[in-house]
Amino acid sequence: MAVMDIVADVPEALVSERIIRLQAVMQKEGVDAFLLTQNVDLYYFSGSMQNGYLFIPSTGDATFYVRRSVQRAKLETAVKVAELGAFRFFGETLAQHYPYLFGKESGLRIAADLDVLPTQLYAKLQETLGSAASCTIIDGSTYIRKLRMIKSPWEIGRIEAAAKVVSESLTAALHVLREGISELEWMARIEYELRIRGHIGLMRMRGFNQEITTGMVISGPAAAVPSYFDGPAGGLGLGAASPQSVSRSIIKRNEPILIDIGCCVDGYVIDQTRTAVLGKLPETLQRAYDASETLIAKAEEMMVPGAPCSKLYEAALAGCASANLSDHFMGFGADQAKFLGHGIGLEIDEWPVLAKGFDMLLEPGMVLAVEPKFTFPGLGVVGIENSYLITDQGARKLTQFKDGLILLP
């Protein structure tokens, strides 16, 4: 593709609306400006993910200061683009472009996405901004995460497109799932099907040192091996350098196959899990799988505007206790994950979170992945996961692949 053929993905009006919403928050909180540094935040508020910094004043026009590529940034965003130049002069450049801010006698309060900003870069920003004005950098990450919780119709359309790709890809890949194939080999087939349908090839996470592949195909005892990943299933992985997800374990009959896969279209992700078996699940695992379907059905009923996120988690814990499955819910022992679901969008770990202490109320426009799963060391992991949009009428399922245990001959 020639450079001149590049067109913007995110509608210009949507970018403007997002900036206006952020400016309204800044004005309410007494913040003079916001400096965005992380790729995903840059994309959300500018429509471009080029290397640079997006400066949004509480009033006035934003500027995207780009190191590379200035030319491409200008093609991708309607926000004003300027060449970054030498970073040590960045503060002086901002003072020249925004004299009404940097000339304030009371000093500046500039918010930044400190939850993802490296300490070394933070120190450099303090130095360069401090050279131009009396400036305090504050953490504005909660503003960003709250704004991004509410999805626009355009964003929901991207998530639905990703859901369609996952459904078609899993359907196609199931035809080659057989006894004796390795987790790795079959996952490669799923990834092939996803890629040819438009998956960008990666999934993004915000959490420090948290990484995620396109998905997990983990079977039998290998699925129950714990890992550093903050989720109910880890997987054996391919070694200490990749200690999660698929391994070279061979898929066998009458063992659970956890198929936890996602897809990313235009930056937006879907998250989906299904459980399959070649033959029949052992009775213990079948009972746990049935419980996962009961839990997700209960969550669907409770996902209405105004419902506290923590209450959905509490209801799931109560359901597990009634089924005598508490010890296996979302992991096992010290490795149990302490949530039922999480927001999705540009990242797989967005707000809100269905967890204890997260008392935020559900609102229309939120998109959440709900994933009740049960882990049994030595046997495997079973469960289900769907992604939902919160509407005025309640939860609307975005996942397109049919529910239910996948039984294969």
Q: Which domains does the chain have, with CATH numbers?
A: 3-147 (3.40.350.10), 150-408 (3.90.230.10)
**Predicted structure pTM score:** 0.95
Mean pLDDT of the chain: 94
Q: What is the pLDDT of residues 64-94, one digit of tens each?
A: 999 999 999 999 999 999 999 999 999 999 9
**What's the CA gap between 51 and 68, in Å, rounded?**
5
Tokens of 310: 């923590």
Residue 263 has a pLDDT of 95
Sign of the C-alpha dihedral, residues 372, 192, 206, 239?
positive
Sign of the C-alpha dihedral, residues 192, 405, 244, 261?
positive
Among residues of the chain, what percentage have pLDDT more than 90? Answer: 86
64 touches 73 (CB < 8 A): yes
The contacts of residue 304 (CB under 8 Å, 6+ apart) are 362, 390, 394, 395
386 touches 399 (CB < 8 A): yes
Q: What is the pLDDT of residues 90-145, one digit of tens each?
A: 999 999 999 999 988 788 999 999 999 999 999 999 999 988 778 899 999 999 99
